[in-house]
Amino acid sequence: MATALFFIFAGFAIACAISCVYHKNPLYSAISLIGVFIALACVYLTLAAPFIAVVQILVYAGAIMVLVVFVIMLLNLEEESPLNRLRYLYGIGGALGLVLLAQTFFIFYAVTKNQDKNLKPDDSVGQTLNIGAAMYTEYLLPVEIVGILLLMAIIGAMIMSRRLRRAKLELVVDNKEE
């Protein structure tokens, strides 16, 4: 049953990924990407990780994809003809793909070779309750540091995006100009 579900969702994810790369219109690609995320979330569910599944849908399929779609709409991208001068990138992309494939096989090989029979994945590891408990007990300090980090990221974004106080924009392009 679990195997059948895995193949259904994995197949859906791969199909969506191919469609994401195939479409020339960025909007279709973005929507295909949502399909990939949802399929992955379903795979996480079958792996007893409901928290990651929900976060995947909330953060990636929800927040991030909305941002992507907004950017596509705002930038008003036109359909571009393929750039010939970027041809060489196909080769690099293919090579990187091969490296990733090799890595996958290596991990598969390493895991099957060194199978640790004593490893018993705890059923409750992926549950929200346990993640919350770990965050506020064992990982209390990192959570506090993340608080500082996010606060500072907000201030930084505000400073960078705020309008200049002086209305006149004097661009300093050349340091020799007076």
Partner 1 sequence: MNTLLFFQNLVNPDVNVPIVLPEFIIAIAGIIVMVYDSFKPAKQRITGAVSIIGLILATVATFWLWATPGNPASAFNGMMVTDNLRLSFTVVFLLVSILTILISSVWVENEKVPAGEYHALLLFATVGMMFMASGNDMVIIFLGLETLSIATYVMAGLRKNDLRSNESAMKYFILGSYASAFLLYGMALVYGATGSTNITEIAAVLSSGESAFPTLFLVGGAMLLIGFGFKVATVPFHIWTPDVYEGAPTPITGFMAAGPKAAGFASFLRIFAIGFPLVATVQASALLHESWITALTMMAILTMTIGNIAAIVQNNVKRMLAYSSIAHAGYALVGFIGAGVATTVTGRDEAIAAVAFYMLTYAVTNLGAFAVVTLLAQKNDRRTEFEDYNGIGFKSPVLAFTLSLFMLSLLGLPLTAGFIGKVLVFRPALEAGSAMLTFLVIVAVVNTAISAYYYLRLIVVMFFKERTTDWIAPKIPTALGAVILLTVLGVFYFGLFGNSTIKSFTKSPATTKPATTQNAQLK
Q: Residue type at 95?
A: A
Token pair belonging to 149:
């980090």
Does 139 bind partner 1 (CB under 8 A)? Our answer is yes
Backbone angles phi, psi at 141, to 5 degrees: -65, -50
Does 146 bind partner 1 (CB under 8 A)? Our answer is yes
Q: State the minimum distance, in angstroms, from the CB of residue 108 to partner 1.
A: 13
Nearest residue to 20 (alpha-carbon basis) of 3, 36, 32: 32
Does 128 bind partner 1 (CB under 8 A)? Our answer is no
- Near partner 1 by CB under 8 A: residue from 116, 117, 120, 121: 116
Does 167 bind partner 1 (CB under 8 A)? Our answer is no
Please report, for residues 43, 45, 51, 54, the alpha-carbon distance to residue 48 in angstroms, rounded to integers and kept in the order given. 9, 5, 9, 12
Q: Where on the chain is the footprint of partner 1 (CB under 8 A)?
A: 110, 114, 116, 124, 129, 133-134, 136-142, 145-146, 148-149, 151-153, 155-156, 158-160, 164-166, 169-173, 175-178
